Structure 1
Amino acid sequence: MLRTDAEHASQKKRSKLLQNASFQKLLFLFVALVPTFGGYLVFGLYPNLLSVYYSLLDWNGISKAKFIGLENYGRLFMDHYVWRALGHNLFYMATVPLITIFISLVLAYLLTNKGYAGTAIFKVLFFFPNVLSTVVVSLLWAFIYDGSFGLLNAFLKLIGIDMNGFYWLGDTRTALAALVPPLVWAGVGFYIVIFMNAMSTIPKSLYECAVLEGASHMTRLFRITIPLISPLIRVSTVFLVLGTLKSLDLVLILTRGGPAGSTDVIGLYMFNMAFGEQVQNYGYASAIGMFLFLILVGAKLVVDKLIPDRGYEY
């Protein structure tokens, strides 16, 4: 009898605890956050911390690791291939985000404010490249740039410019710039959709007042639309800048960093150092990864400085 009363009291206490609002909130936070945070610790934070340790080793992943301290970092700053690859990354960082944001803003503004028929269809068409895998996008652009039967050479020949089988990705003079259009094409559709959704929240009355004042479409775009969605433009710029610094998949498939290293990027160089056929040095690759991390942090701070986080109200 005493045991039954004790069990009943314990059950009643548990029931009261479960009905408590604070306990329910803590339980929800635990269930919602622990799996995600645990996954981040195991698959995100732990490998990054391990890379810091690997960067202090001379290790090919198979033989016994040798602790060498900061030698990998000293080698890194003397390695001109790293700086050449970083220069290519900076070129993409200066061109791809700017072109992508500009094209996305103009097209999103036209589709939102010009009242074209079939706007929803245009959104689907522009977003389509984001559905394709990087391999498919790379193969499409490899076909466009092909010297023998590529679409680009065929178009130029149609307007009277015969390139004589020129292969755009096989020449050191054009290979680096030729990778900009695929990078822009692969990302512009996503930002068009994002900007269109943001522009649709701007009150039409603002545009109507501007029309009455005689403002042109360009004036409305730069004086009304862009200031009101500037926080979103800032975030998009950060994503694009960091994405161009980290990207290596499209370069790997299209050129493998060639010809003669003219399209090599720092992520691809790090990949080749770790998993290359001739060189396998996990320690040096990890040091390059830490260097890339510092560059990413620096790029984020630069973007924050150049594009201040201020919003406009209407």
Structure 2
Amino acid sequence: MRVDLYGDKKTIVRRMGLQKASVQRNVFLFVAIVPCLAGYILFTLYPNVMSVYYAFLNWDGITAAQFVGFDNFVAMVKDKFVWRALSHNLVYMLVVPAVTMLLSLILAYLLSNKGYREGTFYKVLFFFPNILSSVVIALLWAFIYDGSFGILNALLKLVGINNGEFYWLGDTRTALWALVLPMIWGGVGLYVVIFMNAMSGIPKSLYEAAVLEGASHMQRLFRITIPLMSGVIRVGVLFTVLGVLKGFETMLIMTNGGPEGSTDVIGLYMFNLAFGSGYHNYGYASAIGMFLFVILIGAKWVIDKYSPKDDVEF
């Protein structure tokens, strides 16, 4: 009986090659995943778990912590400043996403269907605020609203409205609404680009048929474009709402919650409790953070439940 040594040798070499490839694959996965996983555990998961623990403590970060149970949550319910800050969040949550999405849709539709020769330039122009950091945007708009040297007062004066050296961020009647424009301006450009890419996938034959039926641009936008982009719009609304609820950088830089707390939001109030000058209460701030987490989950659930999410096939 003849033994095929050559065949056995090929089998052994093949197995060794497979084993070597498996080892290389495991090493690659280890090198690619473990550092990211370690960073996530160290900088995201661990702080969030510890914040749940801190919520049941009375601790200033220096002295010995004291376990107080649910006292922080009871105090939070009775804290009028928490509810005032949350009411400001709700105002921003209702206004900023709605205006941002509407402006982004209209601008994206015009750039996609009007055939402007300068379309690429406009696209870059609208996207420009998104390459700026939130700090730069806040400082830019703070200068625009300045009473002595601000551009807004100068423009109003040119059209015959002379309100003197009115400080838009220093008046309780205007400060809250003055912060809406920077948030909208900083977000429109990104969604213009996203919506333009989504519109490019809609068959042109649908628009051609609508034109033959005599549909106007607004009718085509609201009866064809928006329904076929409902999934993309839903994601945009979700990101914008969650960003408005948990964000506070603009308020921190432009007003720090003033004047008289008229621009305070829940994230800024929590930040000042934990890291503000002269007062540190990490336990109470962590309790508010857990409350904010519940609000974020609730907002996402409402958007997922009541927004259209049927897949559209062309």
Query: Does the TM-score normalized on the shorter chain lie above 0.5?
Result: yes
2:313 is the counterpart of 1:313: yes
Matched residue, 2:5: none
2:106 is the counterpart of 1:89: no
**Structure 2 residue ranges without an equivalent (≥5):** 1-10
Structure-2 change in CA distance of 1:32 and 1:147 (3 Å): same
**Structure 1 residue ranges without an equivalent (≥5):** 1-8
Matched residue, 1:242: 242
**Counterparts of 1:144-159 in structure 2 under 5 Å?**
144-159=144-159
SS in 1 for 2:262: coil
SS in 2 for 1:244: helix
Q: Do the aligned residues in 2 keep the contact of 1:52 with 1:287 (CA within 8 Å)?
A: yes
Give the deviation of 1:87 after TM superposition: 0.4
Q: Which is worse superposed, 85-94 or 203-212?
A: 203-212
SS in 2 for 1:309: coil
Q: Do the aligned residues in 2 keep the contact of 1:130 with 1:187 (CA within 8 Å)?
A: yes
Matched residue, 1:229: 229
Give the deviation of 1:301 after TM superposition: 0.7
Give the deviation of 1:311 after TM superposition: 2.5
Specify the code of the residue in structure 1 equivalent to 2:123.
K
Residue by residue over 1:182-227, the C-alpha shift from the partner in whole angstroms, topping out at 9 and shown as x without a partner, is: 1000111011011011111112111111111111101111111111
Q: Distance in 1 between matches of 2:241 and 2:25?
A: 38
CA RMSD of superposed structures (Å): 1.9
Matched residue, 1:272: 272
Q: Do the aligned residues in 2 keep the contact of 1:82 with 1:266 (CA within 8 Å)?
A: yes
Matched residue, 2:300: 300
Give the deviation of 1:11 after TM superposition: 8.5
2:195 is the counterpart of 1:195: yes
Q: Distance in 1 between matches of 2:292 and 2:167?
A: 31
Q: Distance in 2 between matches of 1:165 and 1:72?
A: 43
2:132 is the counterpart of 1:132: yes
Q: Distance in 2 between matches of 1:302 and 1:71?
A: 29
Specify the code of the residue in structure 1 equivalent to 2:187.
G
Q: Distance in 2 between matches of 1:82 and 1:60?
A: 19
SS in 2 for 1:285: helix
Q: TM-score, normalised by structure 1?
A: 0.92
Q: Do the aligned residues in 2 keep the contact of 1:271 with 1:285 (CA within 8 Å)?
A: yes
**Counterparts of 1:9-88 in structure 2 under 5 Å?**
13-19=15-21, 30-88=30-88
Q: Do the aligned residues in 1 keep the contact of 2:127 with 2:193 (CA within 8 Å)?
A: yes
SS in 2 for 1:292: helix
Specify the code of the residue in structure 2 equivalent to 1:250.
T
Matched residue, 1:3: none
Q: Which is worse superposed, 303-312 or 239-248?
A: 303-312
SS in 1 for 2:62: coil
2:218 is the counterpart of 1:218: yes
Q: Do the aligned residues in 2 keep the contact of 1:89 with 1:266 (CA within 8 Å)?
A: yes
Matched residue, 1:123: 123
Specify the code of the residue in structure 2 equivalent to 1:15.
G
Q: Distance in 1 between matches of 2:287 and 2:151?
A: 41
Specify the code of the residue in structure 1 equivalent to 2:152.
L
Matched residue, 1:162: 162
Q: Distance in 1 between matches of 2:69 and 2:290?
A: 14
Q: TM-score, normalised by structure 2?
A: 0.92
